Amino acid sequence: MTQSHISWFAIIISFFIAATLELIALPDMVAFLRPEWLVVTYVYWLVRHPEKIGVASGVIVGLLLDVISGSYFGIHILAVCLTGYLVLTMHQRLKMFPISQQSLVIFFIVGIQLMVVSTIKSALGNSDIGLSYLWLAFSSAIIWPFVLIVTDRLVFALR
Amino acid sequence: MKLGGPDKTIFVQGPYLAYRLLLAVVLSISLIVIDIKFSQLDHVRNVISTGLTPIHWLSEFPRNIKSVATNLVTSRETLEQELGLLQDRLLVLERKSQKLASVTAELNRLRELLNASRILDEGVVVAEMIGISPDTGYQYIVINKGAQDGVYHGQAVLDSKGLMGQVIEINELTSKVLLISDIRHAVPVQINHNGVRAIAYGLGSLSYLELANVPDTSEISEGDLLVSSGLGGRFPQGYPVARVSSIEHDAGRSFARVKVKPEAQLDRSRLLLLVFNKDHNKSDEGKL
């Protein structure tokens, strides 16, 4: 039970780092590959501590993304909560997968999240980015193992 | 212990999970509707944005380190060279500005003769860019001047080469600037040498804009400089906006397809100028 109060601090720190990474300006060449740090971090906590982080926390992450990306309030909330739901329905299985397979699942999950965002945005007439969001899903899948290792270390250090 | 934790969580999912999702969906859809129909949520957005300021500062850290590092290791020789170059440049610019003062005075006299409004000397404040949009579909930058510095909605932002964009959101210490290349942005322009008017639309690409509804017969050619026309009352008159890069005449269309390249370095400039228009207070607190 000592586990329960240490990790809130770790959770906040990890989201803080993720938000910073989300905003770091990448060189133009690789800008289209910017991973969805916040969403990947959210998925990490869903997998590790589903009793703490759930659909309701997704509202906060979505709100943050809405502000950062300047979209209408609610678009990212909807998408992130859907992600939370999807991950929670299969987190038991996801944990058993080898890391490469987990990355594949992350690709689909982040892809679905981005698809929801881009669909709503284009339905509201904002902008249409075509299928380029699949690159973001791809890079998010690539960073998954690193997020897993680094955040595990972080949690261990803050224990 | 590790096994104990997750097992309990099987029941967290239960039937409640679907209800929670439903609740979240209802919440977000109503938020979207409220945000589109009313502007009350803008305040919430400003509060959260202000809270995110430290993250914006932090995310600029790698770039700052790079510039500090280059500053530290620059040799005396390079600095002296640079100083010499800058002094030369200063001389040239001073000479030009002497001429400019007399030309401006003369222009004002002539305009008075024509009974037209005078070109006002606008005040400028230097701002620094502290963040950029992570979203390619929405092009804005964040600058380090906000409500405390008197920034206002719709204020024009320039870099050393030309028009960058306009202020769309103001927080206490920072504000957001929509770039002229954003897909929702348009700026009224005129060709510098003959005054032909047009409107330059953003296309979502940093490297070019497009002129809308330019007749095929219009007197426009590659390399023409476009300056802001001041029509619409949003941007001050006479700042360089873009240069014509290609003109396509298509017999099947009634208008020419004119692509123009922004003069401002939208993807590079860090130091920007905020233009303070003296009579903006009279105009309405324009919102986008």
Surface of A (35-54) touching B: CB under 8 A: 50-51, 54
CATH architecture for residues A3-157: Orthogonal Bundle (1.10)
**Model pLDDT, residue B283:** 45
Residue B64: phi and psi, rounded to 5, are -65, -40
Task: Report the largest interatomic distance among the alpha carbons of chain B, rounded to a whole angstrom.
Answer: 89
Question: What are the chain A neighbours of B36 within 8 Å (beta carbons)?
Answer: 72, 124
Share of chain B above pLDDT 90, in %: 15
B235 in A contact zone (CB under 8 Å): no
Task: List Cβ neighbours of B246 (8 Å cut-off, separation of 6 or more).
Answer: B222, B258, B259
Single pTM value for the model: 0.65
Domain ranges of chain A: 3-157
The single residue listed with the structure tokens 């954003």 is B182
B8: nearest Cα among A94, A92, A155: A92
**Model pLDDT, residue B68:** 78
Surface of B (161-190) touching A: CB under 8 A: 169, 176, 183-184
Nearest CA distance, B2 vs chain A (angstrom): 10
Taking only the tens place, the pLDDT of each residue in A82-107 is 999 999 988 888 888 999 999 999 99
- Alpha carbon distances (Å) from B86 to B71, B100, B253: 17, 20, 49
Q: How far apart are CA A77 and CA A55, in angstroms?
A: 10
**Model pLDDT, residue B288:** 43
**Model pLDDT, residue B26:** 93
The domain B186-262 having CATH identifier 2.40.30.10: the answer here is no
Q: Indicate whether this complex's ipTM tops 0.90.
A: no
Q: Is the pLDDT of residue B221 over 80?
A: yes
Question: What are the chain B neighbours of A88 within 8 Å (beta carbons)?
Answer: 12-13, 17
Surface of A (120-149) touching B: CB under 8 A: 120-121, 124, 126-129, 132
Taking only the tens place, the pLDDT of each residue in B49-74 is 888 888 888 887 777 777 777 777 77
Nearest CA distance, B286 vs chain A (angstrom): 19
Higher pLDDT, B29 or B41: B29
Contact B45 A82 (CB under 8 A): no
Per-residue pLDDT of chain A (159 residues; tens, 9 = 90+): 445 555 788 888 899 999 988 888 777 677 778 889 999 999 999 988 888 888 888 999 999 998 888 788 889 999 999 999 999 988 888 888 999 999 999 999 999 999 999 888 888 876 666 788 888 899 999 999 999 999 888 888 887
Taking only the tens place, the pLDDT of each residue in B243-265 is 999 998 888 888 888 999 998 88
